[in-house]
Amino acid sequence: MALPTSTPDVVAPRTADAAVVASGASGQRVGPPSLRDILHTAVSNGASDVHIRTGAPPIIRVRGDLWPLDIPELSAAEAEELVLAAMPSERDRQQFAEMHECDFAYTSTGIGRFRVNAYRTRGGAAMVMRHVKEVIPSFDELGLPRIAHDLALMPSGLVLVCGPTGSGKTTTLAAMVDAINSERRCHILTIEDPIEFLHRNQLATISQRELHTDTLQFARALRSGMRQDPDVILVGEIRDAETMRTALQAAETGHLVLASLHARTIVDAVNRVIDIFPVDEQRQARASIAESLQGIVCQHLVQSADGQGRTMVLEIAMATPRVREAIEDVEKTGTVQDIVADGQYYGMRTFEQDAIRLVMSGTITVEEAEKVVPRAADLHVALRRAGFRDQG
């Protein structure tokens, strides 16, 4: 059956007008839809992710919620065929066969580009495909404040973008690179796994290297990159001590290093960076991080109050003397949260402060704000002090 020509406003579960239908007029199954058909339906409905797995129909995530497409459950053979069809190279297929998981990028002409993780579950093939927008959103479109732009234009040092999986870290970093690209005459080197946003040279010249395609290791590519005359280095993700060590070395020698890190809060980010190192190296690591750090952006995505999308809630720390001192001194690291809360003059904010701002403006609901703040009770007290009256 052909794909729908019109896109519904909201995807409903198992409705024929919002999905690929893979059955004939008699109701007999005529085979699974092609991967291209599934992706076309997903993108037409504004999906951010597509889930393929054995024993379930394809499932798409729209505005944070998961919806099954209206086709029969995929057999093990059908899921395997779809997963292998997405893999762009024999190397990826070999890795999947040997390791049972694989990261790669997939492009479908006329539909878009996707970041993919293939894996096995209960012995069957599965994958999640995240749709990567081709147009890099601006800071305003993402809801990022001016201070994020200022961090991107720092001449040197380390800038960390943190958050849980699916919080938009890669998109924020892409917006930062795009800002640098349009405002600085410099060389930007990116090391990514995989490359998601494709950058074209503007004022800057950009070299994008993909793990396993252009290089074998983040740390090795970073060490090599130091000899490639970069002004700005983007590290897709800090995963180990060697990568962190090299990133700090680059930041200390006059480069701007942008990197992502899985961490839920600013304090969590500081502790995770330090805990990457062996215990006997942590004292020196604290000193290096305190000296090199320019700022940390921590972000979460929550449902917007109007139900039309998701809104970014932010926690931002700038490397003021007090923040640097708290990072370097293990006895004071626990005070970072209080320093950030008192640092609005420098553009800093906590999740609670940003959530209050968004609730007061009607951008998000109290219920969504509760999902990102450390203590819901403190949020309610602060909202009452700010004059908020919940109409519910």
What confidence category does residue 9 fall into, taking pLDDT thresholds of 50, 70 and 90?
very low
Domain enclosing residue 327, as ranges: 139-349
Residue at which a domain ends, from 90, 111, 132: 132
pLDDT at 252 over 80: yes
Q: Are residues 75 and 161 in the same domain?
A: no
Q: Are residues 128 and 143 in the same domain?
A: no
CA separation for the pair 248, 271 (Å, rounded): 16
Q: Are residues 57 and 157 in the same domain?
A: no
Region of residue 238 (left: phi > 0; alpha: psi -120 to 50; beta: else): beta
Place of tokens 């019109």: 6
Q: Are residues 46 and 119 in the same domain?
A: yes
Give the mean pLDDT of 273-287: 96
Q: Are residues 110 and 167 in the same domain?
A: no
Q: Are residues 128 and 197 in the same domain?
A: no
Question: Does residue 366 fall inside a structural domain?
Answer: no
Question: Does residue 362 fall inside a structural domain?
Answer: no
Question: Does residue 6 fall inside a structural domain?
Answer: no
* Between residues 104 and 153, the one the model is more confident about: 153
Q: What is the pLDDT of residue 30?
A: 53
Task: Specify the DSSP element, H or E, that contains 313.
Answer: strand 310-318
- Strand, coil or helix: what is 92? helix
* Between residues 315 and 11, the one the model is more confident about: 315
Residue at which a domain ends, from 102, 117, 132: 132
Question: Does residue 93 fall inside a structural domain?
Answer: yes
In one-letter notation, the amino acid at residue 198 is: L
pLDDT digits (tens, 9 = 90+) for 50-69: 999 999 999 999 988 899 99
Question: Does residue 22 fall inside a structural domain?
Answer: yes
Q: Are residues 179 and 119 in the same domain?
A: no
What confidence category does residue 1 fall into, taking pLDDT thresholds of 50, 70 and 90?
very low
Percent of the chain clearing pLDDT 90 (strictly above): 76
Q: Are residues 216 and 191 in the same domain?
A: yes
Q: What is the pLDDT of residue 22?
A: 37
Q: Are residues 227 and 155 in the same domain?
A: yes
Count of domains observed in the chain: 2
Q: Are residues 114 and 259 in the same domain?
A: no
Question: Does residue 111 fall inside a structural domain?
Answer: yes
What are 288's two structure tokens?
Answer: 């290096």
Cα→Cα distances 305→10, 360, 362, 369, 376, Å: 16, 11, 7, 10, 18
Q: What is the pLDDT of residue 132?
A: 85
CATH of the domain at 120: 3.30.450.90
Question: Does residue 258 fall inside a structural domain?
Answer: yes
Q: Are residues 185 and 296 in the same domain?
A: yes
Contacts of 371 by beta carbon, 8 Å cutoff, 6+ apart: 300, 302
CA separation for the pair 334, 328 (Å, rounded): 11
CB burial string 273-309: b at 16+ within 10 A, e below: bbebbeeeeeeebbebbbbbbbbbbbbbbbbbbeeee
Rg, C-alpha atoms of the chain: 23
Q: What pairing do the DSSP bridges indicate for beta strands 293-303 and 59-62?
A: unpaired
What confidence category does residue 32 fall into, taking pLDDT thresholds of 50, 70 and 90?
low
Q: How many CB atoms lie within 10 A of CB 97?
A: 10
Question: Does residue 392 fall inside a structural domain?
Answer: no
Q: Rounded to two decimals, what is the model's pTM?
A: 0.80
Nearest by Cα to 256 from 166, 140, 173, 378:
173
In one-letter notation, the amino acid at residue 376 is: A
CATH of the domain at 244: 3.40.50.300
Residue at which a domain ends, from 94, 112, 132: 132
pLDDT digits (tens, 9 = 90+) for 347-392: 999 999 999 999 999 999 999 999 999 999 999 999 999 999 876 5
- 17 alpha-carbon distance from chain centroid: 31
Q: Are residues 198 and 146 in the same domain?
A: yes
